[in-house]
Copies of this chain bind each other. A is one copy, B any other.
Amino acid sequence: MWRVVLAVGLGAALEALLGWLLRRRAAAPSEVIFFPSTVTCTEELLAGAPCACPLPHGESALARLLAHVLAARRSLDLCLFAFSSPQLGRAVALLHRRGVRVRLVVDADYMALRGSQIGPLRRAGIQVRHDQDSGYMHHKFAIVDKKVLITGSLNWTTQAIQANRENVLVLEDQALVNIFLAEFEKIWENYNPANYTFFCKHEKTGIENG
Protein backbone atom coordinates (compact mmCIF):
# COMPACT_ATOMS: atom_id res chain seq x y z
CA MET A 1 0.00 0.00 0.00
CA TRP A 2 2.72 2.53 0.98
CA ARG A 3 4.37 1.86 -2.37
CA VAL A 4 1.22 2.99 -4.19
CA VAL A 5 1.00 6.13 -2.05
CA LEU A 6 4.71 6.86 -2.57
CA ALA A 7 4.60 6.30 -6.32
CA VAL A 8 1.41 8.31 -6.81
CA GLY A 9 2.79 11.07 -4.59
CA LEU A 10 6.09 11.08 -6.51
CA GLY A 11 4.25 11.18 -9.81
CA ALA A 12 2.07 14.09 -8.68
CA ALA A 13 5.08 16.01 -7.33
CA LEU A 14 7.00 15.52 -10.55
CA GLU A 15 4.00 16.56 -12.59
CA ALA A 16 3.62 19.75 -10.54
CA LEU A 17 7.34 20.51 -10.91
CA LEU A 18 7.15 19.84 -14.65
CA GLY A 19 4.13 22.13 -15.01
CA TRP A 20 5.94 24.87 -13.10
CA LEU A 21 9.03 24.51 -15.30
CA LEU A 22 6.96 24.67 -18.48
CA ARG A 23 5.03 27.70 -17.19
CA ARG A 24 8.34 29.33 -16.25
CA ARG A 25 9.53 28.92 -19.84
CA ALA A 26 6.24 30.29 -21.12
CA ALA A 27 6.47 33.25 -18.73
CA ALA A 28 9.83 34.33 -20.15
CA PRO A 29 8.90 35.45 -23.64
CA SER A 30 11.43 36.86 -26.07
CA GLU A 31 10.52 39.35 -28.73
CA VAL A 32 12.48 40.54 -31.73
CA ILE A 33 11.64 43.89 -33.30
CA PHE A 34 13.09 44.64 -36.73
CA PHE A 35 13.49 48.12 -38.18
CA PRO A 36 13.03 50.34 -40.21
CA SER A 37 9.72 51.16 -38.60
CA THR A 38 6.73 52.35 -40.56
CA VAL A 39 5.84 55.87 -39.49
CA THR A 40 2.80 55.79 -37.24
CA CYS A 41 1.31 58.19 -34.72
CA THR A 42 2.56 57.37 -31.21
CA GLU A 43 0.58 60.11 -29.42
CA GLU A 44 -1.83 57.68 -27.80
CA LEU A 45 1.10 55.84 -26.17
CA LEU A 46 2.84 59.06 -25.09
CA ALA A 47 -0.12 61.31 -24.24
CA GLY A 48 -2.54 58.60 -23.15
CA ALA A 49 -5.37 59.97 -25.27
CA PRO A 50 -6.58 59.15 -28.80
CA CYS A 51 -5.19 61.33 -31.57
CA ALA A 52 -6.88 62.38 -34.79
CA CYS A 53 -3.78 63.40 -36.77
CA PRO A 54 -3.48 62.23 -40.39
CA LEU A 55 -0.67 59.69 -39.63
CA PRO A 56 -1.55 55.97 -39.61
CA HIS A 57 -2.45 54.78 -36.09
CA GLY A 58 -1.59 51.07 -36.27
CA GLU A 59 1.25 48.95 -34.90
CA SER A 60 4.85 49.73 -35.78
CA ALA A 61 8.34 48.74 -34.64
CA LEU A 62 8.73 52.09 -32.86
CA ALA A 63 5.35 51.72 -31.14
CA ARG A 64 6.38 48.27 -29.85
CA LEU A 65 9.72 49.57 -28.58
CA LEU A 66 7.97 52.52 -26.90
CA ALA A 67 5.46 50.18 -25.24
CA HIS A 68 8.32 48.08 -23.76
CA VAL A 69 10.09 51.20 -22.45
CA LEU A 70 6.88 52.74 -21.09
CA ALA A 71 6.18 49.51 -19.17
CA ALA A 72 8.78 50.63 -16.57
CA ARG A 73 7.26 51.09 -13.11
CA ARG A 74 10.31 51.36 -10.86
CA SER A 75 13.56 51.80 -12.80
CA LEU A 76 14.94 52.36 -16.26
CA ASP A 77 18.67 51.94 -16.83
CA LEU A 78 19.76 53.23 -20.24
CA CYS A 79 23.14 52.73 -21.87
CA LEU A 80 23.00 54.44 -25.27
CA PHE A 81 25.56 55.50 -27.84
CA ALA A 82 23.26 58.04 -29.52
CA PHE A 83 19.88 59.27 -28.29
CA SER A 84 18.01 61.81 -30.43
CA SER A 85 14.59 60.23 -31.09
CA PRO A 86 11.98 62.77 -29.89
CA GLN A 87 9.41 60.03 -29.17
CA LEU A 88 11.82 57.95 -27.06
CA GLY A 89 12.98 61.17 -25.36
CA ARG A 90 9.38 61.98 -24.44
CA ALA A 91 8.86 58.43 -23.15
CA VAL A 92 11.90 58.66 -20.87
CA ALA A 93 10.90 62.13 -19.59
CA LEU A 94 7.37 60.82 -18.93
CA LEU A 95 8.70 57.89 -16.88
CA HIS A 96 10.88 60.30 -14.88
CA ARG A 97 7.82 62.47 -14.11
CA ARG A 98 5.94 59.32 -13.02
CA GLY A 99 8.65 58.65 -10.42
CA VAL A 100 10.52 55.89 -12.25
CA ARG A 101 14.24 56.05 -11.38
CA VAL A 102 15.94 56.76 -14.70
CA ARG A 103 19.73 56.46 -15.06
CA LEU A 104 21.28 57.31 -18.40
CA VAL A 105 24.78 56.45 -19.64
CA VAL A 106 25.82 57.96 -22.97
CA ASP A 107 28.80 58.53 -25.21
CA ALA A 108 30.46 61.89 -24.62
CA ASP A 109 31.10 62.55 -28.33
CA TYR A 110 27.48 62.15 -29.33
CA MET A 111 25.57 63.63 -26.41
CA ALA A 112 25.92 67.27 -27.49
CA LEU A 113 25.13 66.82 -31.20
CA ARG A 114 22.20 68.76 -32.64
CA GLY A 115 18.92 67.05 -31.83
CA SER A 116 20.37 65.06 -28.91
CA GLN A 117 17.84 64.30 -26.16
CA ILE A 118 20.52 64.40 -23.47
CA GLY A 119 20.35 68.16 -22.77
CA PRO A 120 16.55 68.27 -22.38
CA LEU A 121 16.54 65.09 -20.25
CA ARG A 122 19.27 66.52 -17.98
CA ARG A 123 17.31 69.73 -17.61
CA ALA A 124 14.27 67.63 -16.69
CA GLY A 125 16.32 66.32 -13.74
CA ILE A 126 17.46 62.93 -15.08
CA GLN A 127 20.91 61.71 -14.04
CA VAL A 128 23.26 61.34 -17.01
CA ARG A 129 26.81 60.01 -16.97
CA HIS A 130 29.26 59.74 -19.86
CA ASP A 131 32.66 58.36 -20.76
CA GLN A 132 35.95 60.22 -20.97
CA ASP A 133 37.67 57.62 -23.13
CA SER A 134 38.89 57.84 -26.68
CA GLY A 135 36.81 54.74 -27.52
CA TYR A 136 33.05 54.93 -27.94
CA MET A 137 30.44 53.96 -25.37
CA HIS A 138 28.73 51.98 -28.14
CA HIS A 139 26.17 49.92 -26.17
CA LYS A 140 22.50 50.34 -27.07
CA PHE A 141 20.62 48.66 -24.25
CA ALA A 142 17.92 49.42 -21.73
CA ILE A 143 16.91 47.51 -18.61
CA VAL A 144 13.31 47.89 -17.48
CA ASP A 145 12.55 47.34 -13.76
CA LYS A 146 15.73 45.21 -13.53
CA LYS A 147 13.69 42.45 -15.25
CA VAL A 148 13.56 43.08 -19.00
CA LEU A 149 16.55 43.61 -21.28
CA ILE A 150 16.09 45.61 -24.48
CA THR A 151 19.23 45.39 -26.63
CA GLY A 152 20.38 45.23 -30.23
CA SER A 153 21.85 47.28 -33.05
CA LEU A 154 19.43 50.23 -32.82
CA ASN A 155 20.68 53.64 -31.76
CA TRP A 156 17.78 55.68 -30.41
CA THR A 157 17.74 58.07 -33.38
CA THR A 158 15.10 58.89 -35.97
CA GLN A 159 17.51 57.90 -38.78
CA ALA A 160 17.94 54.43 -37.26
CA ILE A 161 14.23 54.00 -36.49
CA GLN A 162 12.88 55.16 -39.85
CA ALA A 163 15.62 54.35 -42.37
CA ASN A 164 18.01 51.63 -41.18
CA ARG A 165 17.81 47.87 -41.04
CA GLU A 166 18.12 47.22 -37.30
CA ASN A 167 17.21 44.65 -34.68
CA VAL A 168 16.06 44.97 -31.09
CA LEU A 169 15.80 41.97 -28.76
CA VAL A 170 13.44 42.11 -25.79
CA LEU A 171 14.51 39.41 -23.34
CA GLU A 172 13.09 38.50 -19.94
CA ASP A 173 15.80 35.98 -19.10
CA GLN A 174 16.79 37.02 -15.56
CA ALA A 175 20.30 35.54 -15.86
CA LEU A 176 20.96 37.63 -18.98
CA VAL A 177 19.38 40.71 -17.40
CA ASN A 178 21.66 40.32 -14.36
CA ILE A 179 24.76 40.16 -16.57
CA PHE A 180 23.79 43.41 -18.31
CA LEU A 181 22.80 45.00 -14.98
CA ALA A 182 26.26 44.23 -13.59
CA GLU A 183 27.83 45.80 -16.68
CA PHE A 184 25.58 48.85 -16.26
CA GLU A 185 26.51 49.27 -12.58
CA LYS A 186 30.21 48.95 -13.47
CA ILE A 187 29.96 51.62 -16.17
CA TRP A 188 27.75 53.84 -13.97
CA GLU A 189 30.41 53.78 -11.24
CA ASN A 190 33.24 54.12 -13.74
CA TYR A 191 31.65 57.26 -15.19
CA ASN A 192 30.94 58.79 -11.77
CA PRO A 193 31.62 62.54 -12.21
CA ALA A 194 33.84 62.37 -9.10
CA ASN A 195 36.27 60.45 -11.32
CA TYR A 196 36.24 62.92 -14.23
CA THR A 197 39.64 64.43 -14.99
CA PHE A 198 39.43 67.80 -16.68
CA PHE A 199 43.17 68.45 -16.57
CA CYS A 200 46.13 66.36 -17.54
CA LYS A 201 48.12 64.90 -14.63
CA HIS A 202 50.86 67.53 -14.88
CA GLU A 203 48.41 70.44 -14.69
CA LYS A 204 46.53 68.85 -11.78
CA THR A 205 49.76 68.45 -9.85
CA GLY A 206 50.50 72.09 -10.60
CA ILE A 207 47.18 73.21 -9.14
CA GLU A 208 47.55 70.98 -6.09
CA ASN A 209 51.05 72.28 -5.52
CA GLY A 210 50.15 75.86 -6.26
Residues of A that sit less than 8 Å from B by CB: 3-4, 7-8, 10-11, 14-15, 17-18, 21-22, 30, 32, 34, 36, 81, 131, 133-141, 151-154, 159-160, 162-167, 169, 173, 175-176, 179-180, 183, 187
Cβ–Cβ < 8 Å partners of A32 in chain B = 176, 179-180
Which residue from B11, B138, B179 sits with its C-beta under 8 Å from A14?
A: B11
Cβ–Cβ < 8 Å partners of A135 in chain B = 36, 159, 162-165
A169 touching B151 by the CB < 8 A rule? Answer: yes
B165 touching A139 by the CB < 8 A rule? Answer: yes
A14 to B165 Cα, complex, angstroms? 45
A135 to B165 Cα, complex, angstroms? 7
Extra pairs beyond A21-B22, A81-B153 (17, CB < 8 Å): A10-B11, A11-B11, A21-B21, A30-B176, A133-B163, A135-B164, A136-B163, A137-B165, A138-B153, A138-B154, A138-B166, A139-B153, A139-B166, A140-B153, A151-B169, A152-B153, A167-B183
CB nearest neighbor in B for A186: B34
CB nearest neighbor in B for A140: B153
Copies, count: 2
Expressed in whole angstroms, the minimum distance between the Cβ of A17 and any Cβ of chain B is 7
Which residue from B15, B133, B167 sits with its C-beta under 8 Å from A139?
A: B167
A62 to B126 Cα, complex, angstroms? 35
A69 to B17 Cα, complex, angstroms? 37
Expressed in whole angstroms, the minimum distance between the Cβ of A136 and any Cβ of chain B is 5
CB nearest neighbor in B for A105: B165
CB nearest neighbor in B for A8: B7
Q: List 19 A-B contacts (CB under 8 A).
A: A4-B4, A7-B10, A11-B14, A14-B14, A14-B15, A34-B183, A131-B165, A134-B163, A135-B159, A135-B162, A135-B163, A135-B165, A136-B160, A138-B166, A139-B166, A141-B167, A151-B153, A169-B169, A169-B176
